[in-house]
Structure 1
């Protein structure tokens, strides 16, 4: 039987390279405010080179190998992404292209994944979230269902690494709890 206190390990992937990234800030805030039974490790993508199949061989590029390893070693994934031009930022799509290899056996296969999208616009990055879901489905990731987490007007919600909307933060934390529940239920099934 799974204990309600059992800890899950989640890698939080930021889809933005910007130093003052809203996506990275959201992940760091969630890592601080998450239940003690959810351990979040935040990673960024600045060391991942552009995907080139000629470079996709053994030995792997060290930064790519490290990225795949952190995904494989964690119980689940939380992706926080901005929306650029109605879609997923190129840096995030590029990292997923690397992580999708080998085809049908990637580190994302059957991995529980939740998504948070954000935008300065009121739409909160819904189009990026849709594109991201499509890419993750093709990689055989296990998308955690529930209300989509979109953060509109994100620039007005963050101040000095504090999220100003407690109701919005509570909504994000409930989504994180759903990710944890999915991870624990899968542990029972695959144990």
Structure 2
């Protein structure tokens, strides 16, 4: 009997027509029966302020940390703004990295992707995103970079429609699921 897997999806874009949210929605629709992907919006998170953390942490931050703690793994997507990840995503990761040495992301399986209207697909943001996750000690899935270039022509009606991108992305999701299942077997 297979164990249920709960994944959490974070989109680093707040746009209504976000390619990253479209990718996350597409993945959620393509997952096997016992796997669920919950999307968590980052738009209401306040800017990180250490003075407002700990017992004073905002409810939105506590909700995000709880969602990560409930998940078995994460799928995180970021646009590339000025050769880096989005500020909203960096802010969320800063909140999630605390308290220092006790992050809910520490040791948790994470697969990342970027998408961009540019042909490069956000490759620089992808590297920055992974560096930040390494610093937090998340367990990055070993898979080639998932960068979706020319994203405007590959998404339609809030979904990723490019077959080659979908296949490559879903193969990465399989690696994420294997890493999660391996962790579940070790815990049982």
Give the shorter-chain TM-score range. Answer: over 0.9
- Cα deviation digits, residues 7-50 of structure 1 (max 9, x gap): 21100000011111111111011101122232100111011000
Is the 8 Å Cα contact of residues 21 and 158 (structure 2) preserved in structure 1?
A: no
Residue 153 of structure 1: how far off its partner (Å): 0.5
Partner of 2:96: 99
Alignment of 1:7-156 (within 5 A): 7-156=4-153
- TM-score, normalising length: structure 2: 0.96
Secondary structure in 1 matching 2:55: coil
Is the 8 Å Cα contact of residues 16 and 44 (structure 1) preserved in structure 2?
A: no
Secondary structure in 2 matching 1:11: strand
Supply the distance in 2 between the matched residues of 1:180 and 1:88 (Cα, whole angstroms). Answer: 25
Work out the number of aligned pairs and report it. Answer: 188
Partner of 1:170: 167
- Cα deviation digits, residues 128-155 of structure 1 (max 9, x gap): 1100111111111000001211100001
Please provide the CA RMSD for this pair. Answer: 1.1
5+ long unaligned stretches in structure 1: none
Runs of 4+ deviating beyond 2 Å: 161-164
5+ long unaligned stretches in structure 2: none
Is the 8 Å Cα contact of residues 17 and 46 (structure 1) preserved in structure 2?
A: yes
- Cα deviation digits, residues 78-103 of structure 1 (max 9, x gap): 00111111101011001100010011
Supply the distance in 2 between the matched residues of 1:57 and 1:141 (Cα, whole angstroms). Answer: 21
Residue 171 of structure 1: how far off its partner (Å): 1.1
